[in-house]
Structure 1
Amino acid sequence: MSIIQNHRKAIARLLMRCLVDRELVARDLANPLHIVLPRWDAKLGDAIVSSFFFREARKLGARVTVLTVPELVDLHRLDFGVDRVIPVNGAPTLAGLGPLVRELGSVDVFVHLVGRIQPIEMLFIRLLKPARVYSLDDALHCVSGKLGDATAQLNVVERYTRVLLDLGATLINRDYIVPLPLPLPLLERQGGSNITHILINPYASRPDKSLGFAKALSLVRALADAWPQHHIGILCSPASRAEALQLEHAIARCNVRTLVELDTPRAVGGAIQRAKVVVSVDTAIVHMAVGLKASLVAIYPASNSSNPWLPPLSHHTRIVFSRQGQRQHTHTGKKNMNEFTDVDVIQPVAELLQESIAETLAVDAHIVSGLGVATGTLARQLPLISRSFPEVADCHPGTLNLQLRQPLRLINPHHRTAPLAWTPSGRTKEVFDLLRIELEFDHLAHRVPAWLYVAHGSPHWHTPTVHEVIAARLELNGAQRCRVHMPAHAVELI
């Protein structure tokens, strides 16, 4: 936000404070209470975190009205059990204040626990004339329940709890309400989707709150390789769907899939409930996982100040912090969600899964000349192989021949084809084994994904020191050696 915009906002706030900010007229609360909670934006996460407030307010016999955007109306009415939900398109305009005030009628309590009260909201409160206003904006005269300084070190749940306690609540259940689909057995009878073991959500409402493409690629690939036996699902919204599909394609792992079918909060809630672990940046997915008591690794920007939106401490929740540059957010207003290592996430996932990480084996290799026939044969083989193992579809139609320092035999491939009739005549059939590996070159900053390619009819089938590798086209720059990283359980050293 520019300096001019900041000054304009400050002036508008000062003027409105002078014109309409007054202490509330003291009066007794009605019975039943009428509580109004404005939620002008479409933030699902905020709604989930405060959902318990509505349930607990009902225990007080209160009548609750929520002002929210159309896309969250059903959530509040059907799932949260709010008595009355009035659809609004953002904060009210000056012309819309009067009709909204008349529609609300008499209001006892106005709860505003997100940021400062904006100038138009000051006028709204003045017209509503509630008996109490709870807010973090301690500077305003109209705020009788001043929670800014008093709850500065508390999370959002504790802030709503303070309001409930002040209204007379005693035993408060702080469990979130999360929308869920039909019971799982019924879903299965209706042909429901496969269960995903590890869910990862790299996307937030803004690019700077999301993982960058390279970081997401590295992290999801690391998860897929650490637990090849588990299905890994990428969560996305309609806005991030194209990038998620691109990410899936780049990851090139058969146990990774973009969950495009999860297009409602209810469907996502069901997937979270069934997952073994959820990994997510700071977004609604985190709060849904907390509400469902799912095993969670949440990725948040590091900060020197208290963050009220951090998930509550729990034995099934881990938080990974992305390091922020010195005064970065202050100067740019943007976060950096990519300053953590893959291991920072892999380790807590392993703790929550209570499973060991697949061990890897590193073997040094020399690049040697091949038989000179692979380019022609692979051009015919790859289209057939990729029908059942699509992650190799974009490989260069030629092999990299490696002489390994340690002889080995492939015993547990990630994929074994059926006998394929790849020759021009179609009479000869051959089986192919493929194993995901990574190649490490001195001249490249990152490892290169590749596949050990074992053709059962090739002379290399009987040469444990020489193996063929396929990958996307490589710029070797004269490199003569590399290091091969592969799953230890997949090979037998000779």
Structure 2
Amino acid sequence: MKIKHLLRFSRDWVRRIFGILLFDIALEPATLPISNLKHIVFIRWDAKWGDAIVSSFVFEHLRKTYPEIKISVVTSVAMSDYFRNYVDVNQVIEIPKRPSYKRLKILAEQLGAVDLLVHFSFMKMKDLYFLSEVQAMNVAGLDDEIQRVNIKLGRDTQGKHFAQKFVVLLEHLGIEAITPKYQVPLNIKAVAKSERFLAMKGERPLLVINPYGSSKKRKLNTLTTKKIIIEALKLRPNINIAILSTPETISEVHELCINLDRNNVFYYPECKTIYDAIALVSKAEWVISVDTAIVHIASGLNKPLLALYNPGEKNYSNWHPNSNKALTCFAKKVNSLDINALNWTQLFASLSELLQL
């Protein structure tokens, strides 16, 4: 696997070099703040729920400062509903995960004249091709090596939380950004459905636990999850505990609940979409999560939170919870990253503190 990863990494770097040679044509230096800002485009085709949530405040600030501005978002099919229905933008364009060069050229034509294009990803060959095709007067990005990026924010935002990178962008546009307020999507039908479900479980404070991250390295195994639940019930025996699941993990969670055999420990059978998970989190008194999307959703909903992370300063500096109600525990450093390698003394102390918030 290491050799395969190294080969892929080397291939991507070679393509990037060719992309720079072929497509990286410098723009005129940016004059900041940009006068007469009419059309701004956010390239979010690699967006996931976590980074979409933590950057969601930027649209509200832009709209307040430039009421007539056209805001376009280019994103994946999976994220399009959020941008279309839960934040204030004018246009959402869906694009495949791996678009062809032809599709990128069509996209550039579709966007038309752009005063500012925001692209915070590390630039690969196709990104560079797209930037060379789009009619953008200014490009803001974190990849300072690229000449096409004439608002270079990489050095200015190094070590900052991902949300703060967008704060710096707004400051460059002459917009004062207060403490970022995330736009968490509360789907009315999903919330009503969760309320009906929880009403059957009795009027008890609710702890929501999400044991599943986006990779095996960030997945709590059954033994670890069970240990956390048992300790939580020792501290607060009269609470309800709901374990988040997905259609892929529901059988595992079902078995765990049967094994624990507690009427106040359960899962939500109707949790089939991210909106169902968000609805359940919105009803929680406390949240424990290994997944950064749920961490940021809980932060946005101002929930007392215990976030579990693998060691790694860069990842944490970018994605830590932005909340004064959040506690953090790190797994111990082991040869292969494993979120289950927890310091149990520290975790139990943090769990006790969480359940007193």
TM over 0.5: yes
Structure with max Cα Rg: 1
Matches within 5 A, 1:414-429: none
Distance in 1 (alpha carbons) for counterparts of 2:38 and 2:260: 54
CA positional deviation for 1:304: 4.3
What letter is aligned with 1:204? Answer: G
CA positional deviation for 1:199: 0.4
Counterpart position of 1:81:
88
Distance in 1 (alpha carbons) for counterparts of 2:28 and 2:153: 20
Confirm or deny: 8 A CA contact 2:12 2:124 kept in the other structure.
no
Secondary structure of 2:128 counterpart? helix
The one-character-per-residue Cα deviations of 1:422-465 (angstroms, maximum 9, x if unpaired) are xxxxxxxxxxxxxxxxxxxxxxxxxxxxxxxxxxxxxxxxxxxx
Distance in 1 (alpha carbons) for counterparts of 2:70 and 2:327: 37
Secondary structure of 2:168 counterpart? helix
Query: Which has the higher relative contact order, 1 or 2, with Cα contacts under 8 A spaced 6 or more apart?
Result: 2
Match of 1:350 among 349, 352, 355: 352
Counterpart position of 2:114:
107
The answer to whether residue 247 in structure 2 is matched with residue 201 in structure 1 is: no
The answer to whether residue 342 in structure 2 is matched with residue 340 in structure 1 is: yes
Counterpart position of 1:254:
263
Confirm or deny: 8 A CA contact 1:277 1:349 kept in the other structure.
no
Match of 2:46 among 31, 41, 58: 41
Counterpart position of 2:97:
90
What letter is aligned with 1:33? Answer: K
Larger strand share, 1 or 2: 1
What letter is aligned with 2:78? Answer: E
Distance in 1 (alpha carbons) for counterparts of 2:289 and 2:102: 40
The one-character-per-residue Cα deviations of 1:152-210 (angstroms, maximum 9, x if unpaired) are 111011100011111121243511010114399x9399845337610000001111121
The answer to whether residue 154 in structure 2 is matched with residue 148 in structure 1 is: yes
CA positional deviation for 1:9: 1.1
Matches within 5 A, 1:309-324: 309-314=319-324, 316-324=325-333
Secondary structure of 1:2 counterpart? helix
Would the alpha carbon gap of residues 58 and 279 (structure 1) be closer, same or farther in structure 2, given more than 3 Å must change?
same
Match of 1:157 among 156, 163, 166: 163
Confirm or deny: 8 A CA contact 1:222 1:342 kept in the other structure.
no
What letter is aligned with 2:16? Answer: R
Secondary structure of 1:59 counterpart? helix
The alignment of Structure 1 onto Structure 2 pairs a total of residues equal to: 345
Confirm or deny: 8 A CA contact 2:101 2:126 kept in the other structure.
yes
Confirm or deny: 8 A CA contact 2:16 2:123 kept in the other structure.
no
Would the alpha carbon gap of residues 5 and 191 (structure 1) be closer, same or farther in structure 2, given more than 3 Å must change?
closer
The one-character-per-residue Cα deviations of 1:58-100 (angstroms, maximum 9, x if unpaired) are 1222321111122322211211122111111214211211211
The answer to whether residue 290 in structure 2 is matched with residue 281 in structure 1 is: yes
Distance in 1 (alpha carbons) for counterparts of 2:57 and 2:194: 32
The one-character-per-residue Cα deviations of 1:28-55 (angstroms, maximum 9, x if unpaired) are 7573431111222351111111111111
Distance in 2 (alpha carbons) for counterparts of 1:193 and 1:339: 32
Would the alpha carbon gap of residues 221 and 57 (structure 1) be closer, same or farther in structure 2, given more than 3 Å must change?
same
Would the alpha carbon gap of residues 153 and 41 (structure 1) be closer, same or farther in structure 2, given more than 3 Å must change?
closer
Counterpart position of 2:28:
25
Distance in 1 (alpha carbons) for counterparts of 2:58 and 2:257: 39
Structure 1 range deviating more: 242-251 or 147-156: 242-251
Confirm or deny: 8 A CA contact 1:177 1:291 kept in the other structure.
yes
Would the alpha carbon gap of residues 187 and 19 (structure 1) be closer, same or farther in structure 2, given more than 3 Å must change?
closer
Would the alpha carbon gap of residues 260 and 283 (structure 1) be closer, same or farther in structure 2, given more than 3 Å must change?
farther
CA positional deviation for 1:280: 0.2
Confirm or deny: 8 A CA contact 1:224 1:256 kept in the other structure.
no
Match of 2:306 among 297, 310, 314: 297
Larger helix share, 1 or 2: 2
The one-character-per-residue Cα deviations of 1:224-260 (angstroms, maximum 9, x if unpaired) are 3432211000012222222222222233332210122
Match of 2:132 among 121, 126, 136: 126
Structure 2: runs of 5+ lacking an equivalent: none
Distance in 1 (alpha carbons) for counterparts of 2:103 and 2:299: 37
Confirm or deny: 8 A CA contact 2:296 2:322 kept in the other structure.
no
What letter is aligned with 1:226? Answer: L
Secondary structure of 2:59 counterpart? helix
Distance in 2 (alpha carbons) for counterparts of 1:337 and 1:129: 45
Confirm or deny: 8 A CA contact 2:37 2:115 kept in the other structure.
no
Distance in 1 (alpha carbons) for counterparts of 2:197 and 2:223: 32
Distance in 1 (alpha carbons) for counterparts of 2:323 and 2:196: 37
Counterpart position of 2:228:
219
Counterpart position of 1:231:
240
Structure 1: runs of 5+ lacking an equivalent: 329-334, 356-494
What letter is aligned with 1:99? Answer: I
Secondary structure of 2:317 counterpart? coil
CA positional deviation for 1:347: 2.6
The CA RMSD over aligned residues, in Å, is: 2.5
Match of 2:272 among 263, 269, 278: 263
Confirm or deny: 8 A CA contact 2:27 2:148 kept in the other structure.
yes
Confirm or deny: 8 A CA contact 2:302 2:323 kept in the other structure.
no
The answer to whether residue 68 in structure 2 is matched with residue 58 in structure 1 is: no
Distance in 2 (alpha carbons) for counterparts of 1:80 and 1:168: 21
TM-score by length of 2: 0.88
Secondary structure of 2:230 counterpart? helix
Confirm or deny: 8 A CA contact 2:47 2:75 kept in the other structure.
yes
Confirm or deny: 8 A CA contact 1:42 1:68 kept in the other structure.
yes
Counterpart position of 2:75:
68
Confirm or deny: 8 A CA contact 1:112 1:135 kept in the other structure.
yes
Confirm or deny: 8 A CA contact 1:303 1:324 kept in the other structure.
no
